[in-house]
Amino acid sequence: MSNVISIGLCLDSLNYTPSRGGLLFQCAAILGSFVSMLHFCRKHVRHSPVHLNFKLLLVLYFIKCYVHGFVFLSAAANYYYRQLISGDGAPEHVFVSREFYKYVHLMYATTVHADPTIKVLLVIERTWATFRARNYENESSRCVRWLFVVFAFIYPTSMTLFAYWNADFDSPACFALFTPDGTMLGVNVMFIIQIVTSALSIVYVKYLIRLNTRKLENQQFHLTTRYQLHENLSCTHFLSTVLVSSFSVALFFGVSTLALRVGPFDGFRNNPPFFAFLRMAIYPIPLADLLIPIYSGNQMKRERTVKMIHLNEAIKNSPEVYDKMLKAQWA
C-alpha cells in the first residue's frame, strides 16, 4: 500500500461516522466505569474486613482498570485532535506520531496482559484461604504482598515484550491502539492463553465455591473459621462474576473478529483502517468495567443480607450449637 493511499484510507477513517460514534461510546463507558469502580472500592473494599492479601489484589485490579481506561482515553483524545487538524492531508497530522504510538500502545498491551495475571493471583489467594481457613484470618505477610505486587508488574511487562518483540511502530497508523505489523503471532498466542486461563479459572473457582459450601455444613469448625468460610464464599462469588464477565468479553471479541475475517465482509477486509476501527468499537472491556462493579456490589450486598438472615435463624433454632461453639472458641 502506497503512502498516498494510506493517507486517503486514514482520512476516510477519521471522518467515518460509525468510528467516531463507537469510540465516543467507549469513552463514555470508561468514564462511567471510573465512577462505578470508585463507588465499589469505597463501599465494599476500603473498610471491608476481608483479608489484606485479597484487598491488595483487588486494589491492583482496579488500578489496572483505571490505567487501562486512561490510556484508552488518551488514544481517543489524540484521534479526535487529529480529526480536527487533518484537513491539510499532511502525514504528520493524519497518522499517529511514532513515539505516541509506541508508548501508548505498549502501556495498553501491558494492562491487557495484567488483567488475567491479577485474576490468577486472586484465584491462588482464595485457594490458600480455603485450605487454610482455620488460621488464615491471623496470617499476614508483607513479603507475600510484595511478591504479589512484583509479579503483577513483571509478568505482564515480560509478556508484552515477548508479544511485541518484532513490532514495527514506524509503519503509519491511524489510531494508537491498532496492532502494529510484526506482532500478529505474539498477540494471538497471548489472546489464546488469556482465553484458556479464564476458562480454567472459572472451573476452578466453581470448585472452590462448592468446597467452601461443603465446609460450612460442618458444625465442628470454630466461629472464626466459619467467618473465614463465609468470607471465602463472598470473595469467590465475586471472583466468579469477574472471571465469567472477562471470559465472555474475550470470547465475544474473538468470535466477532473471526466472523469479520472469514465472513462476507470484503469491504472491511480490503480496508484495514475500517476493519481495525470496527474491531475496536465492538471490544466491550470498557462496558464490562462499568457493569462488573455495579452487579458485584449488588450481589455482595444481597449475599450479606441472606447470610445475616440465615445466621439469625440458625441461632434461634439451634442456640445450643452456637453456645457450644462459643465455649470451644474462647474456653
- Which pLDDT tens digit goes with each residue over 249-297? 888 877 777 776 676 656 555 666 666 666 666 676 777 788 788 777 7
More confident residue, 2 or 187: 187
Cα angle 88, 90, 94 (rounded to 5 degrees) comes to 95
> Number of structural domains, the chain?
1
Count the residues in the chain.
331
Instruction: Provide mean pLDDT across the span 107-118.
Output: 91
- Angle separating helix axes 142-163 and 52-85, nearest 10 degrees: 30
Domain that holds residue 304: 3-330
Checking if the pLDDT of 225 tops 90, the result is no
The pTM assigned to this predicted structure is: 0.80
Checking if the pLDDT of 106 tops 90, the result is yes
Task: Identify the residue whose cell numbers are 503509519.
Answer: 172
- pLDDT for 162 equals 87
Q: Read off the C-alpha cell for 33.
A: 466505569
Q: In sequence order, what are the residues at sequence separation of 6 or more whose Cβ sits closer than 8 angstroms to the Cβ of residue 285?
A: 68, 249
Checking if the pLDDT of 307 tops 90, the result is no
Using a CB cutoff of 8 Å and minimum separation of 24, what contacts does 191-199 make?
191/250, 191/254, 193/116, 194/113, 194/115, 194/116, 194/250, 195/247, 195/250, 195/251, 195/254, 197/116, 197/119, 197/120, 198/116, 198/119, 198/243, 198/246, 198/247, 198/250, 199/247
Cα atoms in the 13 Å half-sphere on the side-chain side of 261? 8
Task: Identify the residue whose cell numbers are 512484583.
Answer: 150
Q: Read off the C-alpha cell for 17.
A: 461516522
Split at pLDDT 50, 70, 90, the class of 314 is: low
Checking if the pLDDT of 44 tops 60, the result is yes
Q: 45 with 55: CB under 8 angstroms? A: yes
Split at pLDDT 50, 70, 90, the class of 120 is: very high
Split at pLDDT 50, 70, 90, the class of 317 is: low
What's the CATH code of the domain at 312?
1.20.1070.10
Instruction: Provide mean pLDDT across the span 21-34.
Output: 87
Reduced to 3 states (helix: H, G, I; strand: E, B; else coil), residue 181 is strand
Split at pLDDT 50, 70, 90, the class of 149 is: very high
